[in-house]
Structure 1
Amino acid sequence: MTELPRIVSVDDHVIEPAHLFETWLPGKYREAGPKPLTAGIGELEYVGGKYRFTTDPEGQLTDWWEYEGLFFPYKRVIAAVGFDRDEMTLEGITREQMRRGCWDPAARLADMDLNHVEASLCFPTFPRFCGQTFAEAHDKDVALACVRAYNDWMVEEWCGDSGGRLIPLCLIPLWDIDLAVAEIHRNAARGVRAVTFSEIPTHLGLPSIHTGYWDPFFAACEETGTVVNMHIGSSSQMPAASPDAPPAVQASLSFNNAMASMMDFLFSGVLVKYPRLKLAYSEGQMGWIPYALERADDVWEEHRAWGGVRDLIPEPPSTYYYRQIYCCFFRDKHGVTALDSVGRDNATFETDYPHVDSTFPHTKQVALEHVAGLDQTTIHKLMRGNAIRMLDLHLDDNHPGSGGNGSHGDSGGARDRV
C-alpha cells in the first residue's frame, strides 16, 4: 500500500482579516490606508479579461476593502472551501460566511490537519498575488507602509504561532528596486525565505527581466536564499483567445503565463548570472514542461546565433531549469507520467486552499491517485522533500531519500532537517 507523507503545500491563499491594517499600519498612515467595509455588491462586468464590481445597497452583503477610492470585494470563488461545486461563483461573500480557516490561522492549522497537510505557503488576496494593489497606488509612501505592514502581519501574526507550519511569503514594493532589496533583507533577517514576484513584470508596466533593472533584487534573493515565487495571474492578465471569451478559457489556459515566464528566464541570462537563485512557478501545473524544455533546447542548439543568445546562454536552457526552477501541481496526471522530464527533484505539491480549485478536504485521496505506482522516495520528494529543500524548512523529516541529488545548488542535496 502506498504511504503518503504529510504534505508541504507550496501554493495556498489567505483572506486578510479586517483588522490587518488597523493593527499593523503605523498610525500616521491609517487614514489613507486600506479600510474594511461590509456592503452590498452590484452588477459584475467582465471587460477585456478583467472583472469590474460596484457596490449596491440592495445587493448581496459582501466584505470589501476600500483603498484610494477603489473598492475590492471578496468573492466566493476565492473562499470556496465548504461550498458545493455549483455554488462556487463570482458572488460576493463575507468573512462570516467563509470557512474560518480562510482568515484565522488557528482554524487554518486545524483544516490542514483534516487535509493531511503539515505546512503551507500562502499567497495574498487583497494585495493581489505579488502586491499589484500597492504598486498601482498613487501615494507611494502609504503604499510602502502597507507592504511593510502586510509583511509584518504575515510573519508575526499569520505565521507567528504556527510552529513553522505556516510559511511566510512576503511582498516587495515593486515600484522601487532599492526599496525592494531593502525589504528582502529586512524579512530575511527574521527568517523569511520566500517572496512573491510577477511572472511577467512588463504586463504591470514594469521593466522586463532582460533589462538588468531587477538584477539587484535577484542578487539579494540569491544572497539570502529567498525563493522567487510567481503565481499564475501575478501579471494581472490571464491568457484568453478572445477578449469576450468566457472565464473558462482563461482557466484552461492559465499555465501559459508560467510557460511564457519560464522561457523569458531561461533565455535572459539571469539564471546564468545568479546560479544559486531559485524560482518557483505556482499553480501552473507541470504537464507542459517537457515539451517547453525540448523546444528551448532545440532553439538554443539550432538558432542561438540569430536568436540573440549565443553569447548569453552557455549551456542548453534545460540545464538551468533542472538546477534552479521548481514547478508545482495538484491535478496533473499527465505531468506525473512525464516526471522524468519534469524532474523528480523539481516538482512540488499544492492544495490551493481555499480557492475554487482546491482539493480540500480530499487532498490525500487526490494525491494518492496521482502518485500510485511511484516509488516511496519519489513520493516523498513530491509531497514534501522538494519543498523542504526549496524553502530550507526546519521540519522533522527522517525519510532516507529526501535529500534529492543536489541539482538545485545545495551541496550534497541534503537540506531536509532532521
Structure 2
Amino acid sequence: MSDEILVSVDGHVMEPTDLFKTRLPKHLRDRAVWEEDLEIEPLGDDGRRFFRRAHAPGMEGWTYSRFQHFDGSPNTGDVNRILEDMDLDGITGQVMHPNLTLLWVYTDDHEWSLAHAKVYNDYVIENFVEQTDRIKPSAVIPITDVPDAVAEIERVASRGVRAILLPATPHKPYHSREFDPIWATAQSLGLVVMFHVASGGIEMEQEASRNMQGMMMAVDQAHRELTEEDVVVRMTGQGMYAALTPGQVLVSLVGGGVCDRFPDLHFALVEFNANWLAGLMGAMDKAWTVGIGQDPDYWVGKYDETLPAGEQFKMARLFKVNDKWPYPLRPSEYVRRQIHVSFQDDPVAVATRHITGIPTLIWGSDYPHAEGTFRRSHEAVDHLFQDVDPEERAQIVGGTMAKLMGFNIPTLG
C-alpha cells in the first residue's frame, strides 16, 4: 500500500434491498423502490452468479452483476467492509454517492422523491457520517420544491453531511433565480454542491428512462456484430453527447451568474470525465472576446431602405455583443475558482491541466463499479500521472477534495 494520499470524490453506497420498503412513510410503502438479490447460473464463462434486479421508475427489471468487495464477495454496503476495501486499494478518504438510487430518485413526483431521499439520507448518516471520518456521503436533494429542498439541506447539514447531490438533468436550468435559496443555504453552511452523471429527468409514467434506454442499447450491441452505423453512434455518444449534460450545468452556473452571486460556493461534476473541459472553457471565453484581426465595425442584418441610418435597428455590429459580458471575471476564471470536474482514467484531462487549472480537476475511483479503478487505483494513477509534477499530482488526486470536504489528513497541513 502506498503512502500517497488518494481522496476519491466518486464512490457508491450499495443500498439494502429493502431499505425503502421498511422505512418510507406507511402510505407510500406500496410504491417503494426495492431490489432483489438473485443467484443464477452463470450467463457466460466468467462464473458470475450473483445479481440484483431493480424495481424502480424507469428502471423496472434492470438486472446487473453484484458489485464486489476486494476479495470478490458481493458488496454488502457495510462500512467496515468498505474501509477494508479502501485500505487494500490505497484510498485515504472517499466521498460516496448512491448506487441505484441516483438513477431514479429525481422524478416529477415531488412527495415520492423527497420521501425516498430522506430515507436514503438518514441511512447514510447513520451508517457512514456517524461511523467514520474517512467516508463522507453526499445527501440526495430533490429540487422540485425549493423550500422543501432548503429544509432538507439544513437538516442533513445539522447531522454532519458536507456535500449535497443535485440532479445533473434538472427540471429547470440551474441559473433560474428560483434556485437561489438553495445556493444561499449551501454556501452559508459550507457545503459542496455535486452533480453525478446519469441523474435526473425521470418521469414516473415513462416505462424506460434515458438511462435504461442507453443501457439496453449497449446490451443489444454486445450481442451482435457492430455495423458502421453502430460505431458512429457510439463515438458520437461518447465524444459529443456525453459532454452535453455537464457542459449545460457548467454554462448555466457560470453564464447565469450563480458563481458570481455565490462566490464562496463550490460545485463538483462527478464521473463525467474532463477531456471536454478545456475546449468548453476556451469556447466560453471566446464568446466574449473580439479576436486579433477581427473587424469590430463589421455590420450585419437586414437593411431597410425606407428608414434613415440612425433607425436601422435590424442592423448591428456583429461583434458588439462580445463586449457585453456582464460579470467582473471571465468565464474560465469562474470555472477555475469554483468548479471541479472529476475523472477516473482520462489522460487528456491530465494533459490539459494547465488550461483548466489544477484545482479544477479532481479524481475518483468510482468504487465499486466495474467501469472504475477499484483494485488497481494506484496503478491507474501512476499511469495517468507519469512525468507530472508531484505537487500537481497530489493536489488533483487528493489535496483539493480533502480540503473542500474537510477530511482530517494531518499531512496536508
Q: CA RMSD in A?
A: 3.2
8 Å CA contact 1:5–1:383 kept in 2: the answer is no
**8 Å contact from structure 2 (residues 70, 85) kept in 1:** no
Distance 1:314 1:200, change over 3 A: farther
CA deviation string 1:111-148 (max 9, x = no partner): 1111110211122123225xx435244xx444422211
Pairing partner for 1:198 from 167, 179, 182: 167
Aligned residues: 352
Aligned to 2:269: 281
Q: 1:81 to 1:398 in 2, by over 3 A?
A: closer
Say if 1:35 and 1:67, in contact at 8 Å, map to a contact too.
Answer: yes
Which consecutive residues of structure 1, in runs of 5 or more, have no partner in the other structure? 42-59, 84-97, 401-418
Aligned to 1:397: 410
Deviates more, 1:15-24 or 1:163-172: 15-24
State the Cα distance separating 1:342 from its structure 2 match.
Answer: 1.9
Task: Give the equivalent residue in structure 2 for 1:214.
Answer: 179
Q: Deviations over 1:216-243 (max 9, x none)?
A: 1111111111111112222455799xx9
**TM-score, length-scaled by structure 1:** 0.74
Q: Is the partner of 1:121 in helix, strand or coil?
A: strand
Distance 1:40 1:175, change over 3 A: farther
Q: Deviations over 1:60-84 (max 9, x none)?
A: 98533435797353423x837779x
Deviation of 1:160 (Å): 3.0
Question: Residue 133 of structure 1 corresponds to which residue in structure 2?
Answer: 105
| Residue aligning to 2:244 | 256
- Alignment partner, residue 44 of structure 1: none
Instruction: Give, in angstroms, the shift of residue 268 of structure 1.
Output: 0.8
Answering whether residue 300 of structure 2 is matched by residue 300 of structure 1, we say no
Counterparts of 1:139-150 in structure 2, within 5 Å, are: 140-150=110-120
In our comparison, the structure showing a higher alpha carbon Rg is 2
Contact 1:194 1:391 in 2 (8 A): yes
Deviates more, 1:263-272 or 1:65-74: 65-74
DSSP 3-state at the match of 1:354? coil
Aligned to 2:122, which of 152, 172, 179? 152
SS of the residue corresponding to residue 173 of structure 1 reads coil
CA contact (8 A) 2:167 2:196 kept: yes
Give the partner amino acid of 1:210.
H
Q: Write out aligned runs for 1:316-335 (5 A).
A: 316-335=330-349
Paired AA for residue 75 in structure 1: Y
Q: Check conservation: 2:192, 2:405, Cα contact below 8 A.
A: yes
Preserved contact between residue 100 and residue 107 of structure 1 (Cα < 8 Å): no
3-state secondary structure, aligned to 1:101 = coil
Give the direction of change, closer, same or farther, for the CA distance of 1:273–1:261 in structure 2 (3 Å limit): same
* Contact residue 24 and residue 152 of structure 1 kept, 8 A: no
1:270 has 2:258 as partner: yes
- For residues 253 and 405 of structure 2, the distance between their equivalents in structure 1, rounded to whole angstroms, comes to 20
Task: Write out aligned runs for 1:47-62 (5 A).
Answer: 62=51
Q: Say yes or no: does 1:359 pair with 2:384.
A: no
| Cα contact 2:36–2:52 (8 A) shared by 1 | yes
Q: In the alignment, which residue of structure 2 is the partner of 1:176?
A: 145
Higher helix proportion (structure 1 or 2):
2
Instruction: Report what 2:309 is aligned to.
Output: none
The question of whether the paired residues in 2 share the 8 Å contact of 1:80 and 1:356 is answered with no
Q: Are 2:328 and 1:340 equivalent residues in the alignment?
A: no
Q: How does 1:3-82 map to 2 (within 5 A)?
A: 5-27=4-26, 29-38=28-37, 62-66=51-55, 71-76=60-65, 79=67
TM-fit CA distance, 1:346: 2.0
In the alignment, is the contact (CA less than 8 A) between 2:105 and 2:117 conserved in 1? no
Structure 1 residues 62, 333: CA separation in 2 closer, same or farther (over 3 Å shift)? closer
Residue 196 (structure 2) aligns with: 231
Deviations 1:389-414 (A, max 9, x none): 22233x123245xxxxxxxxxxxxxx
> What SS does structure 1 have at the residue aligned with 2:117?
helix
Q: Which residue matches 1:106?
A: 80
Once the two structures are TM-superposed, the CA of residue 105 in structure 1 deviates from its matched residue by 2.2
| 8 Å Cα contact 1:81/1:358 also seen in 2 | no
Report the AA paired with residue 15 of structure 2: E
CA distance in 1 between partners of 2:253 and 2:140 (Å):
20
For residue 154 of structure 2, the aligned residue among 155, 180, 185 is 185
Contact 1:81 1:353 in 2 (8 A): no
| Change over 3 Å in CA distance of 1:188–1:374 after alignment to 2 | same
Q: CA deviation at 1:274?
A: 0.9
Distance in 1 between residues matched to 2:38 and 2:366, nearest whole Å? 27
**In 2: Cα distance, 1:231 partner to 1:31 partner:** 28
Aligned to 1:121: 95
CA shift at 1:101, angstroms? 3.4
SS at match of 2:105: helix
Q: Does the 8 A contact of 1:14 with 1:122 survive in 2? A: yes
Deviations 1:300-335 (A, max 9, x none): 22488547x936333211111111001122212222
Secondary structure at the residue paired with 2:101?
A: coil
Conserved 8 A contact 2:105-2:200: no
Q: CA deviation at 1:258?
A: 1.5
Distance 2:319 2:63 in 1: 47
Q: Distance in 2 between matches of 1:70 and 1:359?
A: 25
Q: Is the 8 A contact 2:107 2:200 kept in 1?
A: no
Give the CA deviation at 1:102.
5.4
